[in-house]
A and B are shown apart, each in its own frame.
Chain A
Amino acid sequence: MAFLEAVFLKRQPGDDLPLRQGASLLQLLKPVLISVLFPLLVLAGWELGVRSGVIGGRLMPPPSRVLTALSSLAASGELSMHIGVTLRRVLVGFVTGAAAGTVLGAVTGSSPLASRLLDPTLQALRAIPSIAWVPLFILWFGIFETSKVALIAVGVFFPVYLGVHGAITGVDRRIVEVGRVFRLSRLGLVRRILLPSILPSYVLALRAGLGLGWMFVVAAEFMGASEGLGYLLVDGQQLGKPDQIIAAILVFALVGKVTDTVLLLCSAPFLAWQDTHQGKR
């Protein structure tokens, strides 16, 4: 409960403002209710549109048919299997890409020499459309898991690298000088001052990276996958099942949102120190 309060209500341990009894649950759920209101309205409008004949239902099946497709996929156990496979690919690719982006961003952000040496090359690589790597990755890593994870990792790497590099080079000189007064080594400076001070930007970069990870998993699963949510899209297209395609798209949106929320929830306790206007209630 305290964790939920910290996340949703920006309350901190020791805050002595009591929550009104009875209002607490509603207060906790209010942000969630507000955030699902718009998608629910869109779904209702869509259903009504198809039922009234304003929208053609053959290629744009109503939510009720999509729900039926989802239910049958779930009942057969296929849905959880496809979600599990895609989720695993995204997570492995995300962790790999984010780790590489963090390390290289920290190195180039904190060392002018490393920045001059590596940053121009990395920026040039960033300009390459990541899909262009697909043929090469298939040649290098084969058609199976490694090439898919590598593609996702490339997608995640650049926003994380750019976020960390940019945030570190923008850290307030005056704060860094305090580290120099305390004679921190370069590694100490990165660990004790640079990385903590960029934490809010870092979380943002991770979220952007995760979002791209979800985009790239689709491309990765288009290249010869036999399982995963991307496979459901290809399968739906080939077999003319728009309800399955839309169901897979909705699952992508849902699972992507869930992973983003998990990332936000996990980072929230580390960002309690932020003095933002949204923190003032």
Chain B
Amino acid sequence: MLDILRLSKIYPNGTRALEAFTLSISKGEVVAIIGGSGCGKSTLLRLLAGLEEASEGTVKLRGRRLHKPDPLVNVVFQEPRLFPWLSVADNVGFGLSHLAADKRKTAVAQVLKRLGLSGFEGRWTKELSGGQAQRVALARAIVTMPSVLLLDEPFSALDAMTREDLQSHLVDLWRDFGSTMVLVTHDIEEAIFMADRVVVMRPFPGRILAEVPIDLPRPRDRMSEGFTMMRRHLSERLVQSLGEQRTAEPA
């Protein structure tokens, strides 16, 4: 489905953010990318979104090369990045301008209902809480029915309760829509809760340190023994990544 082959990114200042990153993601799979700061997680996501050009390597979606923003790919960023001059409904329907007004309205209403935001259609974004705003951002991406949904630490700015609530919502949506998801996160628990596979990255330059399949049954119980063991295992891997970061970090 999504094939990343020897992807590298070197910035004009010489920083090697990513080097020979290779990963194959199946249709409907959820892959979480974790690692310390500066390990190239967000760069990887921006390359997949077509927001940056790779220095080397290719990304292919269903055999087709991706090198610019694609209609089959959508992104949820760390901040909601909503348009404050549009209502909630118009924000969600932003990518549906090709549809007739009534169809757009129906699609927007359905996805807002799915995310527990019915009745918020006419509100300004300034009237939303952080969690509600991020849900609107999620709705804006989901409503376009992307084959691949890229999530760049989408819940990191939210409080713990809202974060867990949104994680559950996203898993439910994924089950219904069947999108392939690539989730960049700092949060090990979030990665285990949501992903089928966790890729641990090491920094300078960003490379894969380990790939860990998460074979826990869904819905996942954060208090279960399997979950706890997986958290410990991934923590060790992450500590290893951070250790490598300290020794490799350029002065």
A275 contact set on B, CB distance < 8 A = 84, 124, 126
A199 and B74 contact, CB distance less than 8 A: no
Asked whether any CB of chain A lies closer than 8 Å to the CB of B69, the reply is yes
A193 contact set on B, CB distance < 8 A = 83
Q: Contact partner of A175 among B73, B75, B83, CB < 8 A?
A: B83
A197 and B126 contact, CB distance less than 8 A: no
A177 contact set on B, CB distance < 8 A = 51, 77, 81
Asked whether any CB of chain B lies closer than 8 Å to the CB of A121, the reply is no
Asked whether any CB of chain A lies closer than 8 Å to the CB of B250, the reply is no
Asked whether any CB of chain B lies closer than 8 Å to the CB of A273, the reply is yes
Q: For the side of the interface on A, what is the size category?
A: 10 to 19
B85 and A181 contact, CB distance less than 8 A: no
CB distance from A111 to the nearest CB of B (A): 18
The complex places the Cα of A164 from the Cα of B195 at a distance, in Å, of: 45
A181 and B74 contact, CB distance less than 8 A: yes
Q: A272-B124, A275-B126 are known contacts. Are A181 and B84 too (CB-CB below 8 A)?
A: no
Asked whether any CB of chain A lies closer than 8 Å to the CB of B243, the reply is no
- Binding site of B, secondary structure by majority: helix, strand, loop or mixed? loop
CB distance from A15 to the nearest CB of B (A): 11
B83 and A181 contact, CB distance less than 8 A: no
A181 contact set on B, CB distance < 8 A = 49, 51, 69, 73-75
Asked whether any CB of chain A lies closer than 8 Å to the CB of B122, the reply is yes
A180 and B69 contact, CB distance less than 8 A: yes
Q: A182-B95, A183-B71 are known contacts. Are A196 and B49 too (CB-CB below 8 A)?
A: no
Asked whether any CB of chain A lies closer than 8 Å to the CB of B79, the reply is yes
B51 and A197 contact, CB distance less than 8 A: no
The complex places the Cα of A199 from the Cα of B86 at a distance, in Å, of: 12
The complex places the Cα of A199 from the Cα of B85 at a distance, in Å, of: 9
A-B contacts, 18 listed (Cβ < 8 Å): A14-B122, A174-B77, A174-B81, A175-B83, A178-B83, A180-B50, A181-B49, A181-B69, A181-B74, A181-B75, A182-B94, A182-B95, A183-B71, A193-B83, A196-B85, A199-B85, A273-B86, A273-B124
Residues of A within 8 A of B (CB): 14, 174-175, 177-178, 180-183, 192-193, 196-197, 199, 270, 272-275
